[in-house]
Structures are given as structure tokens and as C-alpha cells.
Amino acid sequence: MLTAGLDIGSVSTNAVLLANGKLIASVILPSGYNHQETAERAWQMILQQGQASAAQLKTIVATGYGRYNVPFASKQISEISCIAKGARHWFPDVRTVIDVGGQDSKVIKLDSEGYVADFVMNDKCAAGTGRFIEVMAQALQLEVSALEQEDLLAASGAQISSICTVFAESEVISLIGQGVARPKIVKGLHQAVASRVGSLAKRLKLEEPLLVTGGVAKNQGVVVALAAELGLKLLVPEEPQLVGALGAALIAAQE
């Protein structure tokens, strides 16, 4: 049986195709401005990769912020449920998931059966999200993918005290002006994100094993800073951006 899951996020559109629960195709695309068109493109790409035809699929689950922009989806499911499902599939014992995406961060607690027991979310402010990091990377003339290497070059981070993204950006520009080394600024930014995500996470009673998902989990600098902030060991899946889409496809398989 073939099932598909599409996660249309504010930054990335992720799609997976499963054959009897086994991943046979996946794609990660920038969501761009036309979410419907990107969803359609991601869909065609996984069908081609998996050598499948649309007619073979009965259930297609869409999730993420843009989940209602997927006209061919048979069902829409919240990102919380899909992330929980995907996380448990790759890490069967996981009890807490911290997802740091482009425009929000969420912390999900799972019970011993894998059901969502509780969650908290920050979707009001860019601080503690991928967007914050993107703005700062731009100010520092670095690609987001280059940040973790830069972080490794610093022994300690610069102090970034503003919580607001706009003020923090001014602070970064002023640190650049003062001649503070770029790696030190980058480490300071990672610590600032970790502190924001950490305070969100501490609102729940955190239990290990703890998994970090979402695009920001691709940045080991943030993951290391967050582990230090929480004093807990953090696991990261091989493809942290695919967890929601994987969960969506697994839910599709249950339907």
C-alpha cells in the first residue's frame, strides 16, 4: 500500500511517499510564495522518485501551516499530531519533541504509548525560530547552512540581550561595528535561540529521550547550545525537516 504525507511549512515544503510503511521517496523544497504550486511540484517529484502514479494512492495527508493549500489531499492533520507520529516512528521511545521551524517553535510531550500528552507553542514572535536565525545570517553575510561551522570557531558566544528580532539585529550590527569576531557573534546568536526555545520547553516537564526536529535542528550549534541550556541529551534525526511529512504519511496509512 502506498501513502503520502505533505508538510507545507512557512519555509519548507516536505513530502514523503511510503510503501507499506517504508520510505521510498522524499523531497524538501522551499515553500516559496505559491504554496499550492509548490505542493503540486513536491507531489509530482515523490511520485516520480517512487515510480508511482497518483491513482495508486487513496490517502494523502497534508499538514503544516499551508495544509489547506493542497487540493489533492484527502485529509488535513495538525502538525503537532504529525510530528509526534513521525518522531515515534524513527525513535520509538521518544517522550519529548522540540520542533524549531521557520516561523514557530513547538514542544510536544508524548505518553508511553506515543500519544500527545501536552504541548506548548510559540507562534507569536520570531525570536527562537528559524526566521530569527535567517535574519541574523543575512546581517552576517552567511548562509544558514554555514552557521554551525562558524560556531565551532568560537570558544564563547557574544552576549545578545535583546529578545526582539529587530533589536537583536541592531545589536548584531553594532557588534560587527565593534569588530567582534563573526564566530563569536554566531555562537551568541545560537545561545540566544537556545535560551528562547529552552524557556518554552521548560514550561513542560521534560522527559528523555528528547528529539529535536525542524530545519533548525540541522544546525548543531543550536542543538549543542540547547542541550546545555536544558542540561539534557538531545537526539536529532537524519532528516529533521521530514518528520512532520513522515508522520502525515503514517497517519494516511492508518486511515
Ligand X SMILES: Nc1ncnc2c1ncn2[C@@H]1O[C@H](COP(=O)(O)OP(=O)(O)OP(=O)(O)O)[C@@H](O)[C@H]1O
Those residues with Cβ within 8 angstroms of residue 55's Cβ, 6 or more apart along the chain or in another chain: none
Residues 54-83 that bind ligand X (CB under 6 A): 64-65
Cβ of residue 181: shortest distance to ligand X, in angstroms?
A: 20
Please name which of 101, 153, 161, 155 lies closest in space to residue 132, comparing C-alpha atoms.
Answer: 101
Phi, psi (degrees; rounded to nearest 5) at 120: -130, 155
Q: Is 10 in the site for ligand X (CB under 6 A)?
A: yes
Query: Binder to ligand X among 4, 5, 12, 89 (CB under 6 A)?
Result: 12
Cell 493549500 -> residue: 69
Gap between the Cα atoms of 37 and 135, Å rounded: 26
Q: Is 144 in the site for ligand X (CB under 6 A)?
A: yes
Query: Binder to Mg ion among 9, 157, 198, 237 (CB under 5 A)?
Result: 9
For the chain, state the CA radius of gyration: 18
Q: Give whichever of 138 and 199 is closer to ligand X, judged by the CB atom.
A: 138
Gap between the Cα atoms of 247 and 141, Å rounded: 35
Contact pattern for Mg ion over residues 82 through 121, marking x by CB under 5 A: -------------------x--------------------
Interface stretch with ligand X, choices 82-90, 129-137, 156-164, 228-236 (CB under 6 A): 129-137
Which H or E run includes 165?
helix 165-177
**Sign of the four-CA dihedral 110, 115, 120, 123:** positive
Q: With CB under 5 A as the rule, give the number of residues binding Mg ion.
A: 2
For residue 219, the partner it binds in Mg ion, ligand X, none, with Cβ less than 5 to 8 A by kind, is: ligand X
CB-based burial of residue 232 (10 Å sphere; 0-12 exposed, 13-18 middle, 19+ buried)?
middle
Q: Is 103 in the site for ligand X (CB under 6 A)?
A: yes
What are the residues binding ligand X (CB under 6 A)?
A: 9-12, 31, 64-65, 101-104, 130-131, 133-134, 144-145, 214-216, 218-219, 241
